[in-house]
Chain A
Amino acid sequence: MADRKTITIAIMDAPYEGARSTTALRLIDIAARRGYNINVFAYEGAVLQPFVAQKPHPNAVHGRTVEEENHFMPKDAIAALMRAAEHNGGKIDWVNCGLCVDERGAAEAVPGVRRGSPADFWKMAEASDNTLVIATR
């Protein structure tokens, strides 16, 4: 792709807590489908988005099994987005803030996620065509 863009997105929200996480993943999905390079800097609770220990569960209230519940797993969505980006000629460079990871005990992330610091966010923004910060409320 002659016009492959590089976009950086900073996110701060933990999974399952708000619509911003969903919107962020939707934005990454659109960019991945276009074959763009996408940098993601996950700060604060967002480092839990690719946390490997996420587990699906049944829904006892509605009487659904794990399979029927088909629980949404952000870590699986992120892994799929990484595959989609690669399939389309781009890549996702996902950096988790190291201190945020340590505070939350979230060191184990899906493959492709690396540890970094806010300095990496600055480097990513510098090297990108554009940057979007989805600040938490």
Chain B
Amino acid sequence: MPKYLLIESRDPFDSNDTQFCCDLARQLAGARNDVTLFLVQNGVLPARPGPQSGELARVAGAGVRVLADSFSLKERGIDATHLASGVTAAPLDIVIDALAEGAKVMWH
């Protein structure tokens, strides 16, 4: 099964194009791909339960693994043990793992 890692570094409060990554992740998962959406930098902000985190829960519900960089969470004072539904904290190593495994990795 082809593997995809989509890296979202932008936050929906500042950028109006973050929906693109969620839509792409959902479509790839729907086409029977192994898809991970990795949030990094300000991209972790919707991982804090709030009005913008519902989309992440919907993406996770579509079969996408949704992870948030633990360092970025810590930098922003977001408690990694109380993240939005469907989101799990993970180290940045996830990106190097995916590259080493030959996954298709895309930065946004």
Contact = CB atoms under 8 A, between A and B. Distances in A.
A132 B92 contact: no
A131 B107 CA distance: 11
A132 B100 contact: no
Contacts of A27: 92, 95-96
B9 A19 contact: yes
A59 interface: no
Given A19-B42, A130-B102, A132-B105, A7 B9 contact: no
**Range, interface on chain A:** 10 to 19
A129 interface: yes
B24 interface: no
Interface in B21-70: 40-42
Contacts of B107: 132-135
Nearest to A133: B107
A31 B102 CA distance: 14
B44 to A, nearest CB: 11
Contacts of B99: 5, 7, 129-132
Contacts of A31: 96
B38 to A, nearest CB: 11
Interface string B68-108: 00010000000000000000000011011011101101010
Given A19-B9, A30-B93, A31-B96, 5 more contacts: A27-B92, A30-B92, A30-B96, A36-B100, A135-B107
A57 interface: no
A49 B56 CA distance: 34
A31 B94 CA distance: 11
Contacts of A7: 96, 99-100
Given A19-B41, A130-B105, A132-B107, A5 B93 contact: no
Contact of A26 (B71, B103, B105): B71
Contacts of A65: none
20 contacts: A5-B99, A7-B99, A19-B9, A19-B41, A19-B42, A20-B9, A23-B41, A23-B92, A26-B92, A30-B93, A30-B95, A129-B99, A130-B98, A130-B99, A130-B105, A131-B99, A132-B95, A132-B105, A132-B107, A137-B10
